[in-house]
Structure 1
């Protein structure tokens, strides 16, 4: 045999005096092929250093065996936990993950989506950039036969496939916990008002106060654009009030980090003059001397795992072409319950 020539299925079939289809099935552990034949085929394939022709496989199966994952930031612990589960699931399906980070820039996000579409990924998992307002790419991907599943930051539009965390349950538990510790002046640092997650958090915050017969003080609800300066401005607005709140729920842990730093600069003592609870259970809290009073867990790992499962179900349906199954799963939304954890005090 010419050593420079890549061995093929035909060569293995010829040597073993069996059909090429039998070789192909044996290499893919097809149940119709006996164990002895499968072992013979794999043994010879290994001896010949046979490697599958991926291009031919892609063409035959209408798959590239890659999925795209687009996240706001790979450096955030929340998304690190999610991507670990996504990669684990994809690996179990013999898929490769192509990563992109939008940095919460809608133009960058759209560019990554178009690049992944051009490279014919079999599907996309996306946590939308916080400033994205246009979602025309959903129909573009649909027309290209590329399913998309959203998680965490999900657009407020109908008939999309998504995994979300119910932010209300954790917020209600946070308010109840503050009240049980004697707090009545409870404030909320919310994110950008246009975000569905901000609206959901605020609605739950007001409900939590109402459930505990605490009057709604609109001065106690402030907003941040999630920048460091915006986070500091928000907490300073609260601590400068004549009737300063004693407890604060924050949009996320990064807002809390900046807020805690700002109140220390003002000469206040965290967990004495002012207490914090925030989304979403930042792992580093356990190493800090004065962490927040508690955290609201949003289950990023579970979101990532379930988003993967949903995406691969859609990919399989696309390939098999079962329109009934496709319509059954289209527009599916799975909701996971957030919960209060790591009560440090």
Structure 2
């Protein structure tokens, strides 16, 4: 007679006429248990469709074998690539990854972190939302002994684990590429002023322009909240300037995609009326007939992998791991 009641170690032990401790050790490949006994136990477990009691395992090892990952948008190719590396590495460690997206909203991001904490994930990887300014959750996770590693969009503090890309190298190469093609009037469509990533782009842009002795026209620096209508509005501002720029650095490839669509509605031609270089190196550019002039590679796979390596090092370390900062130089990729 079949029953829906799950099989237990006691049931396996009773059928094989051995102790429950022997069954437990055999299921965990303990060296004190002989090969024949181990095989008998595993075969019986298979026949009874035995599944380990995860709650008991978690309680004993004080681990849930899960990590939480928060990114602004799962659909963005950059984050999809980073997550691919993270999941692959976590799988090698026999961990499950719980994915969530903040939709670039600080309050949603905080709720996700609180949920991860309640469910006792063993660690958290975060790429911050564009609006995040409150970092008190870092201390909350520390008190709960849940390590956290930031990647790509990281806080401006050195007491936390951070993995990100140095945007200045790619920016210098982008400005140089424009200059070599005769462009002097170069604009920047930046992200929200509150974002550290926006501040880094602006600083790198200003430095690169000065290195080439190019004038900094404040009208050529516009901001967007990274939503489509705001991206289009930023481009419209540049189009309507009496002495409009011929070349544009965009915050990322998603901004460029929105702007490309907008230019077509205005009868303007990419790589003729305006030339673009943006960040993230969108893999889809190779499938577009008239792609932007270039994109700046930020190495999402490398960032994701290194962030995961640091997180698992922190999880496995008995003592608190000293804060690590890993920086990958960005690089211009011409299309």
Fold match by TM threshold 0.5: yes
1:73-93 Cα deviation digits (max 9, x unpaired): 112111111222222222222
CA distance in 1, matches of 2:27, 2:90: 20
TM superposition shift of 1:17: 6.8
Corresponding residue for residue 154 of structure 2: 154
1:91-129 Cα deviation digits (max 9, x unpaired): 222222222211111111111111121111111111111
1:208-253 Cα deviation digits (max 9, x unpaired): 2222222222222221121222212222222222222111110011
Corresponding residue for residue 132 of structure 2: 132
TM superposition shift of 1:289: 1.8
Corresponding residue for residue 82 of structure 2: 82
Which of structure 1's runs of 4+ aligned residues deviate more than 6 A? Answer: none
Q: How many residues are paired up?
A: 335
Corresponding residue for residue 101 of structure 1: 101
Cα pair 2:276 2:292 within 8 Å, conserved: yes
Corresponding residue for residue 61 of structure 1: 61
1:132-160 Cα deviation digits (max 9, x unpaired): 11111111111111111111111213311
From the superposition, tell whether residues 32 and 242 of structure 1 become closer, same or farther in structure 2 (CA, over 3 Å): farther
Q: Where does the alignment leave 5 or more consecutive residues of structure 1 unmatched? A: none
From the superposition, tell whether residues 103 and 46 of structure 1 become closer, same or farther in structure 2 (CA, over 3 Å): same
Question: Does the alignment pair 1:115 with 2:107?
Answer: no
Most deviating of 9-18 and 73-82: 9-18
CA distance in 1, matches of 2:234, 2:283: 24
CA distance in 1, matches of 2:291, 2:47: 58
1:169-218 Cα deviation digits (max 9, x unpaired): 11111111112222222111111112111111111112222222222222
Instruction: Report the TM-score, using the length of structure 1 for normalisation.
Output: 0.89
Question: Does the alignment pair 1:332 with 2:332?
Answer: no
Most deviating of 155-164 and 209-218: 209-218
Corresponding residue for residue 214 of structure 1: 214
Q: Where does the alignment leave 5 or more consecutive residues of structure 2 unmatched? A: none
SS in 1 for 2:99: strand
CA distance in 2, matches of 1:214, 1:168: 17
Instruction: Report the TM-score, using the length of structure 2 for normalisation.
Output: 0.91
SS in 1 for 2:172: helix
TM superposition shift of 1:18: 6.3
Corresponding residue for residue 231 of structure 2: 231
Corresponding residue for residue 45 of structure 2: 45
TM superposition shift of 1:33: 5.7
TM superposition shift of 1:19: 5.9
Corresponding residue for residue 293 of structure 1: 293
Most deviating of 82-91 and 29-38: 29-38
Cα pair 2:256 2:278 within 8 Å, conserved: yes
CA distance in 1, matches of 2:87, 2:35: 31
CA distance in 2, matches of 1:88, 1:119: 22
From the superposition, tell whether residues 9 and 199 of structure 1 become closer, same or farther in structure 2 (CA, over 3 Å): same
Cα pair 2:127 2:151 within 8 Å, conserved: yes
TM superposition shift of 1:60: 0.4
From the superposition, tell whether residues 290 and 48 of structure 1 become closer, same or farther in structure 2 (CA, over 3 Å): same
Question: Does the alignment pair 1:202 with 2:202?
Answer: yes
CA distance in 1, matches of 2:38, 2:309: 30
From the superposition, tell whether residues 31 and 260 of structure 1 become closer, same or farther in structure 2 (CA, over 3 Å): farther
TM superposition shift of 1:7: 3.5
